[in-house]
Amino acid sequence: MLKSNRDRYGAVAVSIHWLTAILILVLLGSGFQAANAVDAAVKTPFLRVHISVAIVVLVLTVFRIVWWWLFDLKPLPVEGSPAWQERIASWVHLGFYIVVLGMAASGIGMMILSGAAPAVFGPPGAALPNFTDYPPRVPHGLGGRLLARLLAFHAGAALYHHFIRRDGLLRRMWYGR
């Protein structure tokens, strides 16, 4: 089933979720590696991966928002789940959207202001700008750390539901019955 029902997520939502999760891990890894690299020859390959994957994550996130808004409904909360947990889950999910879109905006801002695209995607050896000289760098760095924390909290909550509560929450975000 492509669309979600009252009890579980559909194949489209599941695919977007897991693909985005994997790509965000790649983004975090490549972003932190690039931020910590001093030598442009080391930094540039990380930036190539980071920027390319970021574009895919942005497209997936916009598609996901449109999918929820126009075509699909989210399943009902897990039976017996406290209202406070549902509120926190909603906040975390909203936080993901805000941070991912904010990270995309600040990343695009850095690329435009710094003119780094030719250095990143052009021939080897081009000089990279010092990204710390550009104002979007601060929210981008803060957003990366916030995104890592949201991801850890989200994964921890899913594992709590799966192993402690055993309420089937994690199975709802997988394929099949």
Q: Domain with 66 in it: what CATH number?
A: 1.20.950.20
In this predicted structure, what is the pLDDT of residue 12?
97
Q: Report the predicted TM-score, pTM, of the whole model to 2 decimal places.
A: 0.94
pLDDT for the residue 110: 97
- Distance (Å, rounded) from C-alpha 108 to C-alpha 87? 31
Residue type, 16: I
The answer to whether position 1 is within a domain reads no
In a domain, 20, yes or no: yes
Say if 108 falls within a structural domain. yes
pLDDT number for residue 100: 98
pLDDT in tens, 92-144: 999 999 999 999 999 999 999 999 999 999 988 789 999 999 999 999 999 99
Q: Residue 123's pLDDT is what?
A: 87
- Separation in Å, CA 168 to CA 27, 39, 66: 29, 47, 27
Helix-helix angle 40-66:11-36, to 10 degrees: 160
Q: How many domains does the chain have?
A: 1
Cβ contacts of 110 within 8 Å, gap of 6 or more: 116, 131, 134, 136, 137, 140
Within a domain: 2: no
The first and second tokens of residue 125, run together, are: 């050896």
Whether residue 158 is contained in a domain is answered as yes
Instruction: Specify if 38 maps to a domain.
Output: yes
Positions in the chain whose pLDDT score sits under 70? none
Q: Which residues of 40-62 are buried (b: 16+ CB within 10 A; e: fewer)?
A: beebbebbebbbebbeebbebbe
Which range marks the domain in which residue 120 is found? Answer: 11-173
Under DSSP, is residue 18 helix (H, G, I), strand (E, B) or coil?
helix
